[in-house]
Amino acid sequence: MTNIGLPRGVQDIMPEEVDIWQFIEETAREIFESYNYKEIRTPIFEFTELFVKGTGDTTDIVIKEMYTFLDKKGRSLTLRPEGTPGVVRAYLMNKIYSNNIPWKVYYIGPMFRYERPQAGRYRQFHQLGIEVLGIKDPIADFEIIKIALDFLQRLKLSNLEIDINSLGCIKCRPYYKEALKEYFFSVQEELSEIDKDRLKRNPLRLLDSKDENIIKLKEKAPQSLDYLCEECKEHFEKVKNYLDMDNINYKVNPKLVRGLDYYTRTVFEISTNLLGAQNAIVGGGRYDNLVETYGGPSIPGLGFAIGMERLIILLSKLGINLKNKDKKLIYFLIPEDKYLKTAIDLSQYLIEKKFKINIGNPNTSLKNQLKIANKIGADYVFFVDSITNENKIKIKNLSTGEEKIIPLNELSLELETMI
């Protein structure tokens, strides 16, 4: 056993568990691509500034959760804590906006946050996300919520709650922030030092505090919906109308703010009551000023991210039945080297026929090879030496123990019964 171990909050995804990961990833790709989104793969680390400017220097993520380090030339780099900033940077660097058409992309990959690990919360975790750049209209808000829901429903998840809210835009939000500031100043003796600091930097951040006291104080705090300008009101009404039109149930939750600074107008979360404290599976919203924040043109954007680990916990709780995607495994017993070529040629044919193959080691005894075939769960063994002798092959079904000798010219027919 190694005495090195693993840092807190990270974990191996072992081969026994990987089926469910692949199943979720394949399902996501299928759904996202059927809505005409293309995959993008951005780097795992970026300049720290990207997250400070984008995710926001008043967020918990930037203030205390980033894995930041200096490289050998003294440049500050950060392991990405979330996917959106990298995607927007790629959009800008590649001047995609000059095409003047909406850009729709998705990503799948690891993210890093120095959080307190607990069930459903890790320091390296994985997100599936989509981003849309270049659509200002509420149809895009509706579309991304619908895609998230389609995906979760494809995984047969029910008991989902969709919460939506609108945070307003750069025109109306300052009034809301002012009202929040006033309210929290009036109760400031009840705030901790950290929360007083939050209040100074960005009063919105108090609303995503998990502190019991703040949660109580939040009850009476002003709500963004009461401060929306006409355009924001109309936008939010339309998002709701589209959701109604598609019979999607949602709850307007005026307390939902999400922990990132760049959100404007619509924010949403999808959660389940089956996960305990870490119950949010999807989080997303609109970010109409982020491209500009990075020095680009005024282009609206929006997106969501889904936590893979939480999905997996949920699916395991619900006892998801992965359809048996496993191909049958054929193990070749090789008595000595001279049979190897025949086995290799035949294995090529079997791979084309959608079998998995494992070639035995001619340097060990047949008895030992058979033992390994059983241990690794092979479905069949092929006795390769029988081929050269009689142009027939002996096949043993390891689950029934049945043995057959098949003329090679009938093998393809036999394979059909073995799949």
Distance CA(226)–CA(223), nearest Å, equals 6
Alpha-carbon distances, residue 250 vs 142, 231, 244, 274 (angstroms): 12, 22, 9, 18
- Report the residue number, 129 or 138, with the smaller CB distance to ligand AMP: 129
Stated as kind and residue range, the H or E segment containing 396 is strand 392-397
| The one segment of 120-128, 154-162, 287-295, 322-330 that binds ligand AMP by CB under 6 A | 120-128
User: By CB under 6 A, is residue 394 in contact with ligand AMP?
Assistant: no
Shortest separation between residue 22's beta carbon and ligand AMP, angstroms: 19
Q: Which of 281, 315, 378, 411 binds ligand AMP (CB under 6 A)?
A: 281
| The one segment of 197-205, 217-225, 294-302, 303-311 that binds ligand AMP by CB under 6 A | 303-311
DSSP 155-217: TT--SEEEEEEE---TTTHHHHHHHHHHHHHHTGGGS-HHHHHHHHH-GGGGGG---HHHHHH
Shortest separation between residue 311's beta carbon and ligand AMP, angstroms: 8
Contact 327, 354 (CB under 8 A): yes
Q: Which of 203, 259, 301, 362 binds ligand AMP (CB under 6 A)?
A: 259
Q: Which of 54, 222, 301, 307 binds ligand AMP (CB under 6 A)?
A: 307
Mention every residue, 6+ apart, whose C-beta is less than 8 A from residue 160.
149, 152, 270, 271, 272, 281
Binders of ligand AMP among 283-302, rule CB under 6 A?
283
User: By CB under 6 A, is residue 141 in contact with ligand AMP?
Assistant: no
User: By CB under 6 A, is residue 235 in contact with ligand AMP?
Assistant: no
Contact 392, 407 (CB under 8 A): yes
Q: Which of 32, 106, 107, 122 binds ligand AMP (CB under 6 A)?
A: 122
Longest Cα pair distance anywhere in the chain, in angstroms? 94
Q: Which of 60, 131, 163, 309 binds ligand AMP (CB under 6 A)?
A: 309
User: By CB under 6 A, is residue 305 in contact with ligand AMP?
Assistant: yes
Residue type, 313: I
Shortest separation between residue 65's beta carbon and ligand AMP, angstroms: 8
Euclidean distance between the first and final Cα of the chain, in Å? 39
Burial level of 344, CB count in 10 A (0-12/13-18/19+)?
A: middle
User: By CB under 6 A, is residue 80 in contact with ligand AMP?
Assistant: no
Q: Which of 280, 357, 384, 411 binds ligand AMP (CB under 6 A)?
A: 280
Q: Give contact residues for ligand AMP (rule: CB under 6 A).
A: 82, 113, 115, 120-122, 125, 127, 259, 280-283, 305, 307, 309-310
